[in-house]
Amino acid sequence: MKRCVSVAAVSAVLGLVYAASAGATTLDLNLTVDNQFAVYLSSSDSVLGTFVGSGNAWQTTYSFSDPLGAGRQYIHVIATNWTTDNGLWGSPGTPNGTGGNPDGFIGTFSISGSGYKFANGSTTLSTDTTDWRADPATPADPPPWAPTAVPAWTAPTDAPQSYGVNGVGPWGGRGSISSGAEWIWSSPDNLNYAEFSTTISSSVPESSTWAMLLCGFAGLGFAGYRARKAVPIAA
């Protein structure tokens, strides 16, 4: 019985350690979009997730920090380019498909803590055409978006296109964003909206997984205890 208790106790301690690690891990986001964005954090790529923040001035680098829950996570960004087609560009009235109205998303993201890695295997990730997915989108709700007006979301599956690294024209350099970060958008570019997604992998098990592990270890310990009791004692 002591073995059973000790195994369960060790498992419980390990679970607490992992839970504390998960709670102490945060995602730091530095990003901007020409012209407007809303960023979310989700435990499923098919669900938009929890609202983290938004911005509507590409000249500004927006910074946010959000705790990471246990298990795999996804960063979701819905980006908007202001055009007369979506009613967001009134003057000088650049229409969709006309030059002089670029679109782009750029950012650098980092993980503070342990147990998590981005799609590139590191704790730091910038926008690129390898580790991000991007598709054109037509949100159901008009921007600006907020947690009370959640737009439609369909997980993107295609590789984005790149317009060059941080510092390229017409945007120039954006502060707090890596010099290697790329301005990206969906391909094909519909010049209105785009959806972006990237994956954060976790080595921190879900709470339900820990419950199963505890039950399993406890069962093994109890089985060992029963087996030892069943061995006859030599005279």
Other Cβ atoms less than 10 A from the Cβ of 70: the count is: 22
Q: With both helix axes pointing from N to C terminus, report the angle between 2-23 and 207-230 in degrees, rounded to the nearest 10.
A: 170
Query: For the chain, what percent of residues have pLDDT higher than 90?
Result: 57
Give ranges for CATH 2.60.120 in the chain.
26-203
Other Cβ atoms less than 10 A from the Cβ of 235: the count is: 3
Q: pTM to 2 decimals?
A: 0.78
Is the pLDDT at 214 greater than 80? The verdict is no
Burial class (CB in 10 A: 0-12, 13-18, 19+), 161: middle
pLDDT tens track for 151-171? 789 999 999 999 999 999 999
* DSSP string for 150-201: PPP-----SPPEEEEETT-TTT---TTS-TT-EEEE-SS--SSEEEEEEEEE
Bridge partners, 64 (sequence order): 29
pLDDT tens track for 84-125? 777 777 655 455 555 678 999 999 999 999 999 999 999 999
Token pair of 208 as six digits = 């339900």
Burial class (CB in 10 A: 0-12, 13-18, 19+), 72: middle
**Confidence (pLDDT) at 23:** 52
Other Cβ atoms less than 10 A from the Cβ of 228: the count is: 10
Instruction: Return d(Cα 70, Cα 12) in angstroms, integer.
Output: 16
Instruction: Return d(Cα 224, Cα 201) in angstroms, integer.
Output: 35
Is the pLDDT at 227 greater than 60? The verdict is no
Instruction: Return d(Cα 8, Cα 197) in angstroms, integer.
Output: 39
CB 202 within 8 A of CB 115: yes
Whole-angstrom CA distances from 80 to 19, 83, 100, 185 are: 37, 9, 16, 10
Q: What is the largest CA-CA distance in the chain?
A: 101
Q: Mean pLDDT, to the nearest integer, of 131-150?
A: 75
Least-confidence region, from 40-49, 166-175, 200-209, 221-230: 221-230
Q: Is the dihedral of CA 99, 138, 80, 119 positive or negative?
A: negative
Please state which of the four CATH numbers 2.60.40, 1.10.1060, 2.40.50, 2.60.120 is assigned to the domain occupying 26-203: 2.60.120
Residue 212 in 3-state DSSP?
Answer: helix
